Amino acid sequence: MSLTPPIRPFDASPLLDRVVLVTGGAQGIGRGIAQAVLGAGGRVVIGDLDRAAGRACLVEWDVGDRARFLTLDVSREASVRAFVGKAQAAFGRIDGLVNNAGPADPAIDDVSALALADWRRFIDAHLTGTFLCSKHALPALRDAHGAIVNIASSRALQSEPHTEAYASAKGGVVGFTHALAISEGPRVRVNAISPGWIVTDDWRKPTARRAPALSKRDHVQHPAGRAGVPDDIGALAVHLLSDASAFMTGQNIVVDGGMSRVMHYV
């Protein structure tokens, strides 16, 4: 028997026939992840509050029964239970779950004026939603030896003023990620992606879609030379959902063009 390590060809379809659920998958980063899953050979179920956006994806993708859209509110357990049940009934298995849904605009009121309802809006969608979707998908994910990818944020690790609710929700997502990875290993791997500034204006439903209007300064402040696009997150999500990352679990990977590594002196 030869002990020579082989040169392995790169797998061009690392998610061939895998079934991946993407919450908030009808627009923005979630849509980018869903399209990356399709590009990697997978099948996708997008769940989203916005029906028009979900239906537009199916029309524009035109991939037949490789993609489904289901209405979903990740903050309501009955809605999550129905979403996971219908997805499993449609495809017979679940290999991956991407917890992405939730309000993306982080700035609200000063904490001394912050309404409890506004606080809960962020916690319920991002943190409780990640818990609920994981809870209901886990039995199928265990059967498939699947993977979860949670979309956190660089704001779990650094802040602008008046973003406490968002930062707390995303910090919670990072903690949930490593705790669940320890509970579910070796059956299910769980990792998080923390995006920085990802431009999504041209990834919305057709009626809301517009060309991004960023300044040169917006881009060049990033060590990578530009702000991010949904494809940047989709590529890493595919890696974390595929067997190529079989030795990774419990991690939070920052994808921010290097912004959080810049040292500032005035």
Residue 234 touching ligand NAD (CB under 6 A)? no
Tell me which residue has its CB nearest to ligand NAD: 28
Instruction: Report the C-alpha gap between 6 and 175 in whole angstroms.
Output: 38
Residue 257 touching ligand NAD (CB under 6 A)? no
Asked if 98 contacts 39 with a C-beta cutoff of 8 angstroms, the reply is no
Query: Among 119, 122, 166, 176, which one carries the catalytic annotation?
Result: 166
CA angle 27, 32, 37 (to 5 degrees): 125
Binds ligand NAD by CB under 6 A, chosen from 128, 153, 163, 242: 153
What distance lies between CA 191 and its chain's CA centroid? 10
**68, 74, 73, 72: which is closest to 91 by C-alpha?**
68
CB of 1 to ligand NAD, least distance (A): 48
- Cβ-count burial of 266 within 10 angstroms (0-12 exposed, 13-18 middle, 19+ buried)? exposed
Q: Which is nearer to ligand NAD, 50 or 143 (CB)?
A: 50
Binds ligand NAD by CB under 6 A, chosen from 22, 48, 146, 177: 48
166 noted as active-site residue? yes
Catalytically active residues, by annotation: 166
Binding site for ligand NAD (CB under 6 A): 23-24, 26-30, 48-50, 53, 72-75, 100-104, 125-126, 129, 151, 153, 195, 197-198, 200
